[in-house]
Structure 1
């Protein structure tokens, strides 16, 4: 095994360890959420709590203590450049709105990126006691069970996840939903894009589409979906693109092209 692969293995082990630790920390906050200070960011739907910030701080400190040369990008505290070629991309609590409102559809999302692509993706779902884990060439697992997508599942006989936010007009979101349903499908939205990407990897959803997401929301999920045998739309991590919102699309190979058509139709409208 090369030194580079050794580095991947070590980071994969740490990512899984940290996901469980961060999940326990976030769950403790969740169980005490009535005492949390909640703030809004760019609008009243875009919320953040002290839980988000403290969980991310813990993850930053733990990564720095073990891999001091690695970069780190987190939703709450921004970007620290690295020199190792590896960058950790983290959303400490994806689904903060469900979190602060007492719903279980939130998760901790931890990815490691190398050469412009995610090579590690771990998503911890504390309320369900689920850990989704993947690394390049290692496959994807849910609580240790190998995930392999079933090509017989498609838009017509399964559910498609749809994400929305106010970066995208209500009219465009409506067109996306209408297009999915016109093709004989149905949709779901649970408030956490990262979690719905994990559900794609697990075969619970046949695909997921959101016209505007950030890297910390999707990198772990992309690794999971690819390692489970699915397809994802390219997401640029070059330069300033690392910080910008881009379309996110992932799915079973059986429906990926249909989801791309839905995306393209929305762009043309």
Structure 2
């Protein structure tokens, strides 16, 4: 393939897609099979050998083209924060590991290319759903077809997701999130994979995603890039432009963003009591 006229973002999107597909295929080989499950920090924070194997293959795929680029990843000894300068990659080999180990097909492999701390390309592969989302610096596709956020403007017609995870000692915030959503919007979804949910928002399947917690970059950066390129809005809990180190994540189709911010601030008010 002649890539001499390819933009940097397009080239990185192509590698992101390759890496996400490879990682997802490795993980899928262990899906609904008997594999040991290890607990990391608490009973809901789990990891499997499939996570490690998929991450290794994702990294190999990236480094075959971008050998010197830094990697930010959930597993092993990769960086745990996004560098503020230069190119890097942010990866999650299995986003939704709890779903994965339960045999629930809502999980994905997420890969994002960043430069100077900002995403420039991303891919999310959800093999059990049959979906691969890709964004360069111009547009977003799902399975090769252009997608965009929904145009729903009436909150009572919208489905919103409370995302990330509230630790056991913060379940009052979780309850507040559910209440804030059902009081304002038509329905609530919780699907168990942050990156899959963000990708679905980019494609108009759901209309909003919200949390007040600080989220890991591997759980967010790829999906945030998809949403922005698909015409959506992503801010922190205070309404400022979202970054990989922001507090909270409020992502929407744009039309319902003020309502979603109100929900986020209601959740945060509980946290500040």
Q: Same fold (TM over 0.5)?
A: yes
Report the aligned-residue RMSD. Answer: 2.3
Question: Residue in 2 aligned with 1:51?
Answer: 50
Does the 8 Å CA contact 2:166/2:174 hold for their aligned counterparts? no
Residue of structure 1 aligned with 2:226, choices 224, 227, 232: 224
Does the 8 Å CA contact 2:158/2:185 hold for their aligned counterparts? no
Distance 2:224 2:185 in 1: 26
Question: Residue in 1 aligned with 2:141?
Answer: 141
Larger helix share, 1 or 2: 1
Does the 8 Å CA contact 2:224/2:234 hold for their aligned counterparts? yes
Q: CA deviation at 1:84?
A: 8.4
Q: CA deviation at 1:148?
A: 2.1
Does the 8 Å CA contact 2:160/2:185 hold for their aligned counterparts? no
Distance 1:83 1:257 in 2: 29
Question: Residue in 1 aligned with 2:157?
Answer: 157
Q: CA deviation at 1:153?
A: 4.3
Q: CA deviation at 1:89?
A: 0.2
1:236 aligns with 2:243: yes
Q: CA deviation at 1:110?
A: 0.7
Q: Deviations over 1:22-61 (max 9, x none)?
A: 1111111114x21x12100110111000000111111112
CA gap 1:252/1:63 in 2 versus in 1, 3 angstroms: same
Q: How many residues align?
A: 258
Secondary structure of 1:66 counterpart: coil
Q: CA deviation at 1:210?
A: 2.2
Q: CA deviation at 1:85?
A: 1.8
Question: Residue in 2 aligned with 1:99?
Answer: 100
Q: CA deviation at 1:158?
A: 2.1
After TM superposition, the structure 1 = structure 2 runs for residues 65-80 of structure 1, keeping only pairs within 5 Å, are: 65-77=64-76, 78-79=78-79
Distance 1:157 1:66 in 2: 44
CA gap 1:72/1:4 in 2 versus in 1, 3 angstroms: farther
1:259 aligns with 2:266: no
Distance 2:185 2:15 in 1: 42
CA gap 1:166/1:41 in 2 versus in 1, 3 angstroms: farther
Runs of 4+ in structure 1 displaced over 6 angstroms? Answer: 80-84
Q: CA deviation at 1:118?
A: 1.2
Distance 1:135 1:164 in 2: 25
Secondary structure of 2:68 counterpart: coil
CA gap 1:204/1:153 in 2 versus in 1, 3 angstroms: farther
Q: Which moved more, 1:208-217 or 1:98-107?
A: 208-217
Q: CA deviation at 1:107?
A: 0.5
Distance 1:83 1:165 in 2: 26
What 5-or-longer segments of structure 1 have no aligned partner? none
Q: CA deviation at 1:82?
A: 8.1
Q: CA deviation at 1:9?
A: 2.2
Distance 2:6 2:83 in 1: 18
Distance 2:71 2:5 in 1: 19
Does the 8 Å CA contact 2:210/2:249 hold for their aligned counterparts? yes
CA gap 1:84/1:246 in 2 versus in 1, 3 angstroms: closer
Question: Residue in 2 aligned with 1:128?
Answer: 129
CA gap 1:184/1:216 in 2 versus in 1, 3 angstroms: closer
Question: Residue in 2 aligned with 1:195?
Answer: 196
Distance 1:46 1:83 in 2: 28
Distance 1:166 1:261 in 2: 19
Q: CA deviation at 1:125?
A: 0.6
Does the 8 Å CA contact 2:142/2:203 hold for their aligned counterparts? yes
